[in-house]
Amino acid sequence: MDTDTRMSDAQARGVRYARELQGHITWLDTFSGTALGVLAVASGIYTYLGVSSLLDENGAMSVFAAIAYSVAVSVGIFVFWSYMMRLFPAVRTAQARIGLLAAMGLGSLAIVAMSSWLNAAALAGSAAVEQHLAETVQRYQTSLERAHEVALSGQALERDVARTRQGFEDLSEQEATGNLSGLAGRGAVFRVLRQKSSELVALETQIAAQTPRVDAAFTQGNALLSRMRALTVESGAVEPRSVEFSELAVQLQGLITQLRQLSVASLVERAAQDLAASVVLPELDGATAENRGDQAATITSVLDVLAQRAATLEGAARQVLALAPPPEVSYAPISAADAVILYAGNFVPSWAGAIAIDLLPAVLVFILAITHSAIRSGREGAAVEDTLTLAELRAALAAVRDVENAMQTTPQHSGPAPDTSAPQSNPPAETDPSPPPTDAAKIHSLPGKTP
């Protein structure tokens, strides 16, 4: 078998391969449009649900607006992918394909912008809002615990104040027995020590009075947090739950502010500063000048000790004040569509489904493009008459017969009518006794066909 024969066999196989693919495409075309319409309608339905969640009102105009938008999205998706499924497989040049690919990318972005995110809002909108509520509860819990921690650190200063107060009381007892200044009794030194001890007792009482209020605020805050957590997982529509959640958030924010104000660190700091700065020195009551000198020296020593204790107490209060304050938290209600975008990372399957329902026809476009390219490759190098199917050949023969019949009947009716009164001098021409050619003869007479 020579080279020409082998090439003819390869071309024949390519033609059969292309004809087989063309038959599959013809069958698939019978329902491709219907399938594309179903996808477009489904996307429009979810787009309607997403748009409805964004509209503030539920009146007839809002419903009409949502329907109009969803219908426009469905029509746009159907028309766009219909263009792509017809035109992209048909083009052959690289420039045309690049241009259509750019148009397809731009159209896909437009579809995602106008439809896919709304589809995701319809698919996972309620879950995204619940996620927002849960995140907000977590932030409020962190803020409440931090405010309570700072308040407890301030309450812990009560022990420092009590220790300082106890020190002055011990010194006063020593002065009363004469072990401090050498003069037994309750003289000037004793009164100075008792004066500061009384101030510290008053401060200690104020700090102790704050403890029940701190505990009550923290307990109430935990109760509110418990209710807010329950709202995030309750069944039913998320909108009424969001309303109640917002009310509880306002109350909890007030409790956190109250806990911040209950911290006594600033009060202790000011009291420590006043402890050494405001000292009322009593009149020395010693009987002799030597006794009065001893009292003055003892009072000076007491004032030095007082300054040291005040500095220590002030330093402890400043350490509490230097603690990081609780983070500011505020709850802002959010729509389902915004929640889906804000927490997109937590709802990847919903986003994938929302985008896939809109961009799935892109896969069909590439499948058709590959198949049409294979069909063209199979028919490459084959003559036109070699690619004709039997039905196409029959249609061509029928068209040839119609043309021949038209050519035979047209001259008989276009000329003048024959004169039947004049005698005919010439005998009629002899007719060809051979029969007309058959269809098989016409087939063999076509170019490229050999018997």
Cα–Cα dist 193/333, whole Å: 59
Residues 86 and 156 in one domain: no
Residues 131 and 120 in one domain: no
- Hey, what are 160's tokens? 């420092």
Residues 185 and 255 in one domain: yes
Cα–Cα dist 273/326, whole Å: 27
Q: Domains in the chain: how many in total?
A: 2
Residues 139 and 273 in one domain: yes
Residues 91 and 177 in one domain: no
Cα–Cα dist 205/161, whole Å: 10
Q: Which of 335, 362, 392 is the last residue of a domain?
A: 335
pTM: 0.64
Residues 74 and 208 in one domain: no
Q: Is 190 domain-assigned?
A: yes
Question: The domain spanning residue 273 has which CATH number?
Answer: 1.20.1260
Q: What is the pLDDT along the chain (451 residues), one digit of tens a residue?
A: 444 444 466 666 766 777 788 878 888 888 888 999 999 999 999 888 888 877 766 677 888 888 999 999 999 999 999 999 989 988 888 899 999 999 999 999 999 988 888 888 888 888 888 889 999 999 999 999 999 998 888 888 888 888 877 877 777 776 666 555 555 555 566 677 777 778 788 888 888 888 899 999 999 999 999 999 999 888 888 888 888 999 999 999 999 999 888 888 888 888 877 776 655 455 555 556 656 665 666 666 666 777 777 788 888 888 888 888 888 888 888 888 888 888 888 888 888 888 988 999 999 999 999 988 887 776 665 555 555 566 666 777 788 888 888 888 765 554 554 444 444 444 444 444 444 444 444 444 444 443 3
The dihedral formed by the CA atoms of 175, 178, 184 and 185, expressed in degrees to the nearest 10: 20
If phi over 0 gives left and psi between -120 and 50 gives alpha, with beta otherwise, what is residue 267? Answer: alpha
Cα–Cα dist 444/45, whole Å: 59
Residues 193 and 307 in one domain: yes
Residue 126 amino acid letter: S
**Domain around 62:** 3-125+346-379
Apex 61 CA angle, 112 and 51, nearest 5:
20
Cα–Cα dist 119/98, whole Å: 29
End-to-end Cα separation, the chain, in angstroms: 20
Q: Is 166 domain-assigned?
A: yes
